[in-house]
Amino acid sequence: MIILQGKDIAVSFGERVLFSNVNFAVDENDKIGLAGVNGAGKTTLFRMLAGMEPEDHEGSIVKQAGLTVGFMEQHVLRNDEISVYDEALSVFEGLMETEKELEALHERIDGGDTDEKLLEKQMNLTERFQDEGGLTFRARTESMLMGMGFKKEDLQKPVRVLSGGERSKLQLVKLLLSGAKLLLLDEPTNHLDIEASEWLESFLLEFRGAYIVISHDRYFLDKVTNKTFALDNFTLDTYKGNYTEYLRQYDERVTYLTKKYTEMTEEIHRIEGIIEQQRRFNQEHNYITIRSKEKQIERIRKELVPPPPPRRKIHFQIPCRLAHGTDVITAKDLSLRIGGQELFRDVDFEIKYGERVFLLGANGCGKSSLMKLVLGKLNGEGSAYIADWLKIGYFDQLQELRLTSAKTTMDFVWDDFPKLNRTQVQSALAMFKLYGEQLQKPVNMLSGGEAAKVILLKIMLEGPNLLLLDEPTNHLDLEAREGLTEALSDYKGTMLIISHDRALINCLATKLMFLHRNGMEIFSGSYDEWKESRAASAEGAGAEENCAKAVGGGKGGSDLASAPKVNTYKEQKERQSRLRKAATKVKKLEEEIEALEKEAEEINRRLSENSGDYMRAMEDSERLSEVESLQLELMERWEEAGKELAEMEKG
């Protein structure tokens, strides 16, 4: 069921058209990612959906009667003096009023007032209170705050002492508790550590309602969305699937439409050649042919639609100086106290040349401080050694906020690299999509994303062989993140990176270092591999515990003698049942794969026979892509099922 619809929406600021001819529909259980480059108008569209329409706009937004829309920006923190817990509870103001009214009724009834209307009012009010979640709203509030990373002792802190990130998390908690049936989430994972992001993912996956999310976190988008609104090229297109699936479909669409456009253009040129030839013959019957061919060109031109441009990508390389050894960083017994508070102690680790290491941990655990301690920018206890032959490229997550220079972007870079000529500096900046007016923009007027790009560019031009990067993807849009990920993938040196960007971690990491107060946990592999390892450990611990209970007979049990005897016949029957189920699963998968193969053959036949029917060909091409994806997925499941069956038969 459609709960919200946009019809022919257009927004302009003066003569600049932000977007136009925007049409879309949101169903009651849609999980939508809103994609688009910075400046495409994503937040403007969000504000319109929340009822805050700009002055110069056209079109309409139609909402289902009674639809409540929750927009994070609306959920402001109204009182700095109340506690974190009370601020979150303020979402349930109506329930708390009902609760007070019920308490007053209870007191009157307990005092002897047994008026029938009073008892009926109490019953109706109690029923409504329970239906609206009155028995659980306090527990839900506390649970959500804890899920967002607030500790039990934090709940009574006044709002005024919260950091910017904590305030954002509190706003998000209020939004999630609001009871809205459509959530508008604008960069919800900003300021969240990985644990809080995972909690939010779990919440959204179980959320009974619809949401639209803007995010530069590709891992998060892929996890929580099943539809994508792409706001690009001044309009909006809808794609089935998450962000990665949208990219695949977009690239395929561009390829298909470009090929079709080229073929149709070439056909027009071919027919124009025939017309020119007929005119040279200058006979009456030739003019009949000419008119016929001109009509043919007109028909083709009506169907001729320029293809959308290919996705804009950032391409750059980070050159790396030669290595002169294998030992890069050695840290022993590192400890740090700031303002009397101990951040961490007894931290030991080694980093070898060529390793790609990610430093992870909860917000506030001291990751940035540890990096500065290693660099000698902070004083602590213990020792940290960096090989003296290394050229270091350091990105401070707060560095862009310190760009106070009034120099232009062009001069800010050129002054540090005077051996480059103007064209070389302009070309380097252009790699980061910085050109035109941006080059003459004072550095202190740059946005966070622009400033981050300038700093990364300067690091690139220095040619370091050791990169120390503290949250390098903060403020970067998805396009820039993909460019940075690609550049770091090709980089030959050593990296130590602090990041919450799980897509970046998965792509690059050879080692993960988790910082705790009492030391460091080190894991070799990617983030997903670490998660699998952790899940397997938890499963193993659970199995071990169950085994111990079985062997020990539970509380009071002493030895194997108390364990129940094995029912051999029953066990054999169960094994045969499992074998039959496994064999049936394999056969069913084979039948599904065969059906998909037949469907793919039929689609390919239609494509070859109906190549002139553009709309049908587009639908068939999209379905063929879906069929091929399903085939791959089913083949993987078939292989796994076959292995399981073979192992069971051996057993």
The per-residue pLDDT for 569 is: 43
Three-state SS for 623? helix
Which range is least confidently modeled, 321-325, 400-404, 456-460, 607-611? 400-404
Closest C-alpha among 7, 3, 39 to residue 184 = 3
540: pLDDT strictly greater than 70: no
Closest C-alpha among 566, 564, 628 to residue 596 = 628
> Phi, psi at residue 481, to the nearest 5°?
-65, -40
CATH number assigned to the domain covering 1-75+178-241: 3.40.50.300
Residue 512 contacts by C-beta under 8 Å, 6 or more apart in sequence? 357, 358, 360, 505, 522, 523, 524, 525, 526, 527, 530
Same fold? 1-75+178-241, 330-525: yes
CA distance 160 to 247: 42
Helix axes 614-650, 243-281, angle to 10 degrees: 140
Rg (CA), the chain: 31
106: pLDDT strictly greater than 80: yes
Three-state SS for 452? helix
- Sequence spans of domains, the chain: 1-75+178-241, 250-303, 330-525, 576-650
Looking at per-residue confidence, does 594 or 556 come out higher? 594
Instruction: Read off the pLDDT band of 391 (50, 70, 90).
Output: very high
570: pLDDT strictly greater than 50: no
- Residue 174: which H helix or E strand, with range? helix 164-177
The β-bridge relationship of strands 494-498 and 519-523 is: unpaired
Let me know: does 497 contact 327? Beta carbons within 8 Å: no
Q: pLDDT tens, 176-187?
A: 888 889 999 988
Let me know: does 98 contact 184? Beta carbons within 8 Å: no
Instruction: Find the Cα–Cα–Cα–Cα dihedral 555, 556, 561, 563, rounded to 10°.
Output: -20
At 270, the amino acid letter reads R
Average the pLDDT over 279-308 and give the result: 82
Partnered with residue 35 across adjacent β-strands are 230
The per-residue pLDDT for 546 is: 58
103: pLDDT strictly greater than 80: yes
The per-residue pLDDT for 446 is: 83
Let me know: does 142 contact 89? Beta carbons within 8 Å: no
Instruction: Read off the pLDDT band of 285 (50, 70, 90).
Output: low
Please provide the average confidence, as pLDDT, over all residues in the chain. 84
Three-state SS for 28? coil
Closest C-alpha among 203, 205, 199, 208 to residue 222 = 205
Which range is least confidently modeled, 217-226, 345-354, 389-398? 389-398
CA distance 194 to 202: 12
The per-residue pLDDT for 561 is: 34
At 349, the amino acid letter reads F
At 420, the amino acid letter reads L
Instruction: Read off the pLDDT band of 51 (50, 70, 90).
Output: confident
Looking at per-residue confidence, does 585 or 185 come out higher? 185
The per-residue pLDDT for 466 is: 94
Exposure on the CB side of residue 442, measured as CA atoms within 13 A: 5
398: pLDDT strictly greater than 60: yes
The per-residue pLDDT for 587 is: 78
Query: Highest mean pLDDT range out of 315-324, 393-402, 573-582?
Result: 315-324
Three-state SS for 444? helix
Let me know: does 443 contact 406? Beta carbons within 8 Å: yes
Average the pLDDT over 543-564 and give the result: 44
At 642, the amino acid letter reads G
74: pLDDT strictly greater than 60: no
Instruction: Read off the pLDDT band of 34 (50, 70, 90).
Output: very high
The per-residue pLDDT for 568 is: 45
Three-state SS for 323? coil
Instruction: Read off the pLDDT band of 555 (50, 70, 90).
Output: very low
Let me know: does 344 contact 365? Beta carbons within 8 Å: yes
Let me know: does 499 contact 395? Beta carbons within 8 Å: no
Q: Does domain 330-525 have CATH number 3.40.50.300?
A: yes
Looking at per-residue confidence, does 548 or 51 come out higher? 51
Let me know: does 115 contact 122? Beta carbons within 8 Å: no
567: pLDDT strictly greater than 70: no
* Structure-block tokens of residue 458: 């300067």
DSSP conformation class of 52: -
Which range is least confidently modeled, 47-51, 325-329, 490-494, 557-561? 557-561
* Structure-block tokens of residue 71: 């927009």
Average the pLDDT over 20-47 and give the result: 91
Cα–Cα distance list, 83 to 86, 145, 153, 157, 171 (Å):
5, 12, 11, 5, 14
Which range is least confidently modeled, 177-191, 270-284, 571-585? 571-585
Looking at per-residue confidence, does 53 or 570 come out higher? 53
CA distance 486 to 316: 8
Q: Is the dihedral of CA 260, 262, 267, 268 positive or negative?
A: positive
Biggest alpha carbon–alpha carbon distance for the chain: 113
The per-residue pLDDT for 340 is: 79
Closest C-alpha among 95, 207, 84, 211 to residue 149 = 84
Can you list the positions of beta strands (E) in 36-81? 57-63, 69-71
Average the pLDDT over 53-78 and give the result: 81
298: pLDDT strictly greater than 80: yes
Residue 117 contacts by C-beta under 8 Å, 6 or more apart in sequence? none
Query: What string of DSSP letters covers 103-142?
Result: HHHHHHHHTT---HHHHHHHHHHHHHHHHTTTTTHHHHHH
Q: pLDDT tens, 219-275?
A: 999 999 999 999 988 899 999 999 999 999 999 989 999 999 999 999 999 988 888
